[in-house]
Structures are given as C-alpha cells and as structure tokens.
A = this chain, B = another copy of it.
Amino acid sequence: MSVISITDVLAGKFPVNEEITVHGWIRTRRDSKAGISFLAIHDGSCFDAIQAVVPNDLNNYDEEVLKLTTGCSVKVTGTLVESQGQGQAFEIQATGVEVLGYVEDPDTYPMAAKRHSIEFLREQAHLRARTNLGGAVTRVRNTLAQAIHRFFHEKGYFWIATPLITASDCEGAGEMFRVSTLDMENLPRTDKGEVDYSEDFFGKEAFLTVSGQLNVETYCSALSKVYTFGPTFRAENSNTSRHLAEFWMVEPEIAFADLSDAADLAEDMLKYVLKALLEERADDMAFFQQRVDKTVIDRLKALISTDFVRMDYTDAIEILENCDKKFENPVSWGIDLNSEHERYLAEEHVGAPIILQNYPKDIKAFYMRLNEDGKTVAAMDILAPGIGEIIGGAQREERLDVLDARLSEMDLDPADYSWYRDLRRYGTVPHAGFGLGFERLIAYATGIANVRDVIPFPRTPNNAAF
C-alpha cells in the first residue's frame, strides 16, 4: 500500500478530477433524503476530516455504507473535486467504500461523536487521541518537540541522553522512585539485618532521576553547548494540575556562559518554538482558541513579540511590599515567591514575561553560583502571564572552593559529588543552563489546564493505567 495523508489532500497537493484513495476513520455519517451519504473521514494527519460524498448506487451502500458509525475504519476511492459547500476546499465523489473495521456495539463506543468531558477522556487514554482534543494535543506536542530539537540543532547544541536510572546520592531535587529487581517477598539481608542492595541489579541502591542537569554538565564541560530532552521522575504525592510522576524535561547547558546568556537562550527558545507552533499548527490552535481558551493565540503572539523584562528578586520583593494588593502569603526578603506573587508581577505589574533573577541562596540549590553579595545566587525563574513559572535556571558554581563551602554549609558530603567536583578541578569554566517542563509548556501553549491532558498516558499517584 502507499497511503496518502488527508492533510496533503486538503492542502491541494493532488490534482482535481482525478481518482484518489484515502484511508481513515469515520467521524460522522449524514444521509440525505436524496439517497446520498456524506462521510467525514479523518486520519489524524491534520485537524480536519475530508468529506466523501457517497451515492446510493454503490453495490455495498445498503449493506455496509449505511451501517457506518463514528470510529469505523474505511478505505474510500473516488474523484477528488473542489467542494461546493462550506468547510473544506476539496471533497471526494466516492466510487468505492471498503469497510476495514466496524465499531463493535456503537451505542457503547466510548468515543461516540459527542462532546466528552476532559476527565472522561483521561480515563480512556487509549482512545482519546481519536477526539478533536486528543488529536490536536498530540499534533501540538509533536510540533513543539520537533521545534525544540530544531532550535538547538540549528544553534549547534548537541542532544545528550543523560541516564534515567541513577545510583548517585547527589541529586536531592525531590523524592525518588526506587528501581530494583530484588525479590520483594524474599529480600536478601546483610549481617546487620538490613536489605542487601549489593544483591540488587546494579549492586547498590538505584533510583529514577529527577533531573539530567548534573550529568549533562559533564558533557557541557567538553562540548560547550548541549541539551537534554528526556523523561524525568518525581515521586511526590502531588495531586495537582501541574505535577506528574513522569514527565519530559528540556535542559540546555552552555559553557563559557553566565546567567544572562541562559536567560537569552530561554527567551529565544520559547519564542522560536511558539512561533513554529502558530505557523505550523494553525488548524489545531484555532480549535484551542475556540474550545479551550479564547485568549490563547493572542497570549502566544504577545509573548513572541514582547521583550522579556529582567528583574532582580530584591526589586520584586520591594514591588510586592509596596503595592496595594493584599496577598494571602506575606512578603519579605528571603521568601520563596508564591504563585499569587508571580502572577501579580507578570500580569499586573509588568504585563509581560519576567525573568526574575538573583534569588536568596538559602532557597536555592547548592550548585547555583554565589553572587558577589554573598547572599544571593545567580538563579532565574521565567514567569509568564497566565501561568506563572515556566522555566527555572541558574549559572552554576564553577569555583571549587566556593562549591565546597556551599556543600559544607548544606551538610552535603563532598565525597558524594566527586565526579561533579572533578569538573571544577579540571579546566573549570563558567556555565549556565535551565530546565523547561515540557508538559507545562504544552499546557501553556494550548490553554489546557491540567498537564495530565497533554501527555499520552499520565502517571500520577495511584495511576499507571495502560
């Protein structure tokens, strides 16, 4: 077979008045009194279905065509013609309809042609890509992923596959899942009666990574411009619309760079990928605009055309302290900002994305570079109107003595960081990077409220279905 995609047919890539064959699933069937059926055929290659006009003189019209329901799979042959009616520019005057697969018991088919709640679709994760919403999310997700790879590739960054299974004790960015092949009903024990991980697959305790950053720094210290784009795990019992136990993260790391370079890169990347989205998936974005978030396209256009505002944490605290707004969480220098603060700054005070930088060292990780003031570190968060924090990054501490002092201050054992310290012992360089939660980007780009609806099979507390 050599199957053509409906997106190419609708884009006018095939000659009219010639024969064409398409494959897909029935979205709807409508029968006219004149004895003609209209089939909307969808193959997922774009938002729209193509219409096939089926005359009742086909020899399987009564026995098969009239039994077609939403979700049935078909192969339709006919003449491609310009459409007379509204909607698409082209349609097919069918001369043959071959049924590939019926829907067993159409009355109970979960994806029947009606609106489904987003929660119901989540429970039908194996079928939800068949809906308008599920298809549009998938195409947008793909477009953003491709644009991310393209952006970094064009700029000379190398994609690095950092490991997911880790036995390092040095991440500490969140609760971790254990990875093991020990027989749980019959655990090996040491002399002291503790679980004997020397018998485990990796010869020691192993976990799923919470970030590729520390690992990718090793490659940054050799190839200068690198990024990860891979899965990441958090075993936090967070049942929120912004958390997943398994999610994808983008983490670029740049050598010979400071915080400002990382901020520039983040701003460029966001603009590049969202611009690609608006250009390449206008069909799906129109759907999100209509059905999910009336402001989504304007919001993305504004972000693309606006210079991000850079603001120091200390200045932000002053703004928050002196504004008229009453916050639930009190503001003072040293606090970690809450969503209400971030949104006030981005949405009300500035009205543009903010790169908030130079946070108090006590609320940030050990590897962030200490500033001259001795109180703050070269960290940044990017806050976008409508969502709050979307990117977090930092310049890394490249000075071995300062890093060691920070480790000691935080009661961390330098021995656990020996390979990370090596990067500072051998030709250390200033470097910086950031992390972008891919699902949060998709949620932001589509207006979808819950990250569970922008990943094919979400993993959350008490749920690893499918």
Cβ-based interface call for A371 (8 A): no
Cβ-based interface call for A316 (8 A): no
Return chain B residues, CB-CB under 8 Å to A409: none
In the bound assembly, the distance between CA atoms of A182 and B185 in angstroms comes to 13
Return chain B residues, CB-CB under 8 Å to A419: 126, 466
Given contacts A100-B430, A256-B3, A461-B201, contact A466 B215 (CB under 8 A): yes
**Closest chain B residue, CB of each to CB of A399:** B101
Pairwise interchain contact B127-A235, C-beta atoms closer than 8 A:
no
Contact string, A112-156, partner B, CB cutoff 8 A, digits 1/0? 000000000000011101100011001101100110010001001
**Closest chain B residue, CB of each to CB of A260:** B1
Given contacts A142-B159, A180-B177, contact A101 B23 (CB under 8 A): no
Option from B43, B258, B426, B456 in Cβ contact (under 8 Å) with A219: B456
**Closest chain B residue, CB of each to CB of A163:** B457
This chain's copy number in the assembly? 2
Return chain B residues, CB-CB under 8 Å to A194: 185
In the bound assembly, the distance between CA atoms of A130 and B129 in angstroms comes to 44
Given contacts A5-B156, A127-B422, A461-B202, contact A223 B179 (CB under 8 A): no
* Cβ distance A131 to chain B, nearest Cβ, rounded Å: 8
In the bound assembly, the distance between CA atoms of A248 and B159 in angstroms comes to 13
Which of A71-79, A326-334, A357-365, A383-391 lies at the interface with chain B?
Answer: A71-79
Return chain B residues, CB-CB under 8 Å to A287: none
Option from B164, B180, B237, B427 in Cβ contact (under 8 Å) with A73: B427
**Closest chain B residue, CB of each to CB of A261:** B1
* Cβ distance A258 to chain B, nearest Cβ, rounded Å: 6
Return chain B residues, CB-CB under 8 Å to A235: 181, 201
Pairwise interchain contact A177-B179, C-beta atoms closer than 8 A:
yes
Return chain B residues, CB-CB under 8 Å to A182: 178, 184
Pairwise interchain contact B161-A153, C-beta atoms closer than 8 A:
no
In the bound assembly, the distance between CA atoms of A337 and B307 in angstroms comes to 61
State which residues 157-190 of A face B: CB under 8 Å.
158-168, 175, 177-182, 184-185, 187
In the bound assembly, the distance between CA atoms of A111 and B426 in angstroms comes to 9
In the bound assembly, the distance between CA atoms of A287 and B261 in angstroms comes to 33
